[in-house]
Amino acid sequence: MQLYLGGHLNWYEPCKRGWITVPLAETTPLAAVLARLGVPASEVAIVTINRRVVALQDARVSDGDTVELYPPIGGG
Amino acid sequence: MNYGSHGKLLRINLTHGTIESETFDESFYRLYPGGKALAAYLLLREVKPGCNPLGPANALILANGLLTGAPISTATRFTAAARSPLTGGYGESEAGGFWGPELRLAGWEGIIVTGRAEHPVYIAIRDDRVAIRDARHLWGREPEEAQATIREELVDRLTRVLQIGRGGENLVRYAALTNELRHFNGRAGMGAVMGAKNLKAIAVRGSGRYAAIAHDPQAIAEIGRRLAKQAKEHPQSWDLQEKGTPGLVSGLNAAGILPTRNFHQGAFDGVDQVRWEVYEKELLTARRSCYACAVRCKREVEVHDRYDVSSSYGGPEYEAIGGFGPNCGVDDLQAVAKANELCGRYTLDAISTGSAIAFAMECFEHGLIGPQDTDGLDLRFGNAAAMVKAVEWIGERRGIGDLLAEGVKRAAEVIGGDARYFAMHVKGQELPMHDPRGKVGVGLAYAISEVGAEHLSAYHDPAIANPNSITFKGAMPLGITEPLPARDLSPQKVAYYYKLENWSSAGKAIGFCYFGPAPRSFISAADTVAAVRAATGWDWTVEDLLRVGERATNLARVFIVREGFSRTDDVLPERLFQPLENGALQGVALSHADFEAAMTELYRLKGWDSVTATPTRERLEALDIGWAADLI
């Protein structure tokens, strides 16, 4: 799975990368992937899987998916 | 005892060539402690109702924030205010950079410029020595050249220069001021006011130290050091340092609120060509800062490829990318960077310029204007070269650019027909690149702001949507206790908006950049209070600061009421009540009934008459500005 950590979400990823590759052996709840990566779900405001917006609690991801995550975007 | 101010204003009448100093005391400063608060007060006092914004009777006010020049990250801003030539109402715009802090170190809290010089001049300030100098040889010169010449003439390469380019000289109604070539008082046409005064620049050099006016210099230094460290360690300010505002593009697109093709759409099919990763790879040459700021959110770009873009004028912020990119249907980031650079050269507000071109593109596609009106320029959405050329023509007031330089409201009146539906403005000022259909509090801000559509007059709704988020926790000290969705428009949301507006307004009085205080960034409400206390010695609380913010907004409101504005001017463009055509919020629109009910509730909370949108005497007296009730 290709995962994009937008805004300040990639602050939580040790290497501070935007796009990262997350190998997935099977379909997995996205929340579990985030927990493994150390990205707090409380900071995630927008989730897209293959460009479609989904709710984090319902999101399940598979290898080959392109996933983008963004925090609350406060303007400026 | 020091209270964080020199208590001194500089008054310059360009008609008579007079230079005077004016003093105020601590009790005055407690009521109007800098920035927006001081500027709004001075503007009301200096400008008679009905004055020609481009005539000698208008005043240009430049006012430092309470903390501006303190060694505290993001406390860099000063306010420029005048009767706006774009809206005819209250004109105000804040800029960071270096000019405001330098003015503070020169011993001045602000400048009042009145009159009109007989020929182009510039003002040179070195501490308490002030001179009006001939600028005929600088008129028509680009900012980079003008700045270098002024520094040469003053034999001081460190003098800070606030100035206008040809857009200001040509009285483009949304011309900006620039300092250090890349920090802008962008909005409301302050550059045209300066141009109309035949004032090319104000150069400032100060030899003072902020510590000399601080109540507790040691505490200020300690807070400054701690916040500088925090700026690097806080996720939100880290993000601003890493990506700056260009990082917002892809997230807003995903959320379905990236203004696209003049606000018809909320998602852009070319977003992958204008997102941060392309910016970083193709354009970025450096990350820069304002005075004493550890956030370092400013970008510098340079490119010599499809376009030649100089690094001298900084780099496009989100607003410029959104405005010249998706909102014009343009997916070429180099063209966006060129348009932004031209705004720097001509000193044009990038938001209004981009919006004016998007408006023209929609008019062109609907046949309201044609090649005969545009000197053959094919002004269709997506035509990057035409978009760039249009910026230049606006700055020069050439051809169709002359009409667009008037702003979309006036241009629509001239073009006629359906053009008024394509003019995305409030009170005559063009919309920034945030769509209220996805964050409705921004709609309240656009509608009620005394300046016209403005995106920094309150913190945006997503900040208070999730109870466990950093932003929500940052908003809690303001009395925000319950999370509300970004599209919620309940009375509770209106009550929270009111707090967020007052907090943002207080930030403009303090001199904070929008990227300093929580909930948007890393400076907690407690640290804001601590910094103000250390600077002034005043035993102030969050409530006191909210009151400062509210007082400033009420002064601005009195100004526009005096100019004849009322509730019928606090309205959004009709397009926002039409459904978004694509993206995550496809089909979503604002509701007239819900929005008007929310506005009525907001007037009630503000203590304003809900029919006329006028502050009541009782509320003005409660804010200790009862005198202002006599003006309306």
Pairwise CA distance, residues B121 & B81, whole Å: 20
What share of chain B has pLDDT > 70, as a percent? 100
Tens digit of pLDDT for each residue in B266-314? Answer: 999 999 999 999 999 999 999 999 999 999 999 999 999 999 999 999 9
CB atoms within 10 A of CB A25: 7
Q: Is the distance from CB of B625 to CB of B31 less than 8 angstroms?
A: yes
Question: Looking at the partner chain, which of B439, B459, B584 has a beta carbon nearest the beta carbon of A53?
Answer: B584
Alpha carbon B168 to its chain's center: 16
Whole-number pLDDT of residue A76: 67
Cβ pair B471:A70 closer than 8 A: no
Confidence of residue B584 (pLDDT cuts 50, 70, 90): very high
- Per residue of chain A (76 residues), what is the pLDDT tens digit? 999 999 999 999 988 888 999 999 999 999 999 999 999 999 999 999 998 999 999 999 999 999 999 999 877 6
B523-528 mean pLDDT: 98
Q: Which residues of A touch B471 (CB under 8 A)?
A: 72, 74
Cβ pair A42:B469 closer than 8 A: yes
Cβ pair B255:A76 closer than 8 A: no
Pairwise CA distance, residues B568 & B18, whole Å: 41
Question: Which residues are registered as beta bridge partners of B429?
Answer: B426
Cβ pair A71:B455 closer than 8 A: no
Residue B176 to chain A, least CA–CA distance (Å): 18
Tens digit of pLDDT for each residue in B69-124? Answer: 999 999 999 999 999 999 999 999 999 999 999 999 999 999 999 999 999 999 99
Cβ pair B252:A71 closer than 8 A: no
Q: Tokens 């004032």 correspond to what residue?
A: B199
When scoring B237, B253, B457, B523 by the number of chain A Cβ atoms within 10 A, the one with the most, hence best to mutate, is B253
- Supply the mean pLDDT for chain B: 98
Q: What is this structure's pTM?
A: 0.98
Q: Please name the residues in contact with B304: beta carbons below 8 A apart, sequence gap of 6 or more.
A: none
Q: Tokens 């304003």 correspond to what residue?
A: B608
Whole-number pLDDT of residue A75: 72
Q: Does A5 touch chain B if contact means CB atoms closer than 8 Å? A: no
In whole angstroms, how far apart are CA B272 and each of A18, B57, B584?
Answer: 14, 49, 16
Q: Does A13 touch chain B if contact means CB atoms closer than 8 Å? A: no
Question: Looking at the partner chain, which of B236, B459, B514 has a beta carbon nearest the beta carbon of A8?
Answer: B236
Cβ pair B465:A72 closer than 8 A: yes
Tens digit of pLDDT for each residue in B361-408? Answer: 999 999 999 999 999 999 999 999 999 999 999 999 999 999 999 999
Question: Looking at the partner chain, which of B235, B471, B584 has a beta carbon nearest the beta carbon of A74?
Answer: B471
> What are the strands of the beta sheet with B78-83, ordered from one edge?
B18-23, B8-13, B110-114, B60-64, B78-83, B90-95
Instruction: Give first-to-last CA distance, chain B, whole Å.
Output: 37
Q: Please name the residues in contact with B454: beta carbons below 8 A apart, sequence gap of 6 or more.
A: B187, B429, B432, B445, B446
Angle, helices B525-536/B217-233, rounded to nearest 10 degrees: 160
Cβ pair A6:B254 closer than 8 A: yes
- Backbone φ and ψ for B526, nearest 5 degrees, come out as -65, -40
Confidence of residue B475 (pLDDT cuts 50, 70, 90): very high
Confidence of residue B435 (pLDDT cuts 50, 70, 90): very high
Q: Please name the residues in contact with B423: beta carbons below 8 A apart, sequence gap of 6 or more.
A: B359, B408, B409, B411, B412, B573
Question: Looking at the partner chain, which of A16, A45, A70 has a beta carbon nearest the beta carbon of B466?
Answer: A45
Pairwise CA distance, residues B451 & B394, whole Å: 22
Domains and CATH numbers, chain B: 8-212 (3.60.9.10), 248-430 (1.10.569.10), 440-631 (1.10.599.10)
Pairwise CA distance, residues B593 & B604, whole Å: 17
Structure tokens at B326: 């998706």
Pairwise CA distance, residues B395 & B172, whole Å: 7
Q: Which residue of A has its CA nearest to B459?
A: A74
When scoring B454, B466, B473, B501 by the number of chain A Cβ atoms within 10 A, the one with the most, hence best to mutate, is B466
Q: Does A42 touch chain B if contact means CB atoms closer than 8 Å? A: yes
Tens digit of pLDDT for each residue in B598-609? Answer: 999 999 999 999
SS3 B552: helix
Q: How many CB pairs under 8 A join A and B?
A: 89
Q: Tokens 């000063």 correspond to what residue?
A: B78
Q: Poorest-confidence range of A11-20, B199-208, B442-451, B508-517? A: A11-20
Q: Does B251 touch chain A if contact means CB atoms closer than 8 Å? A: yes
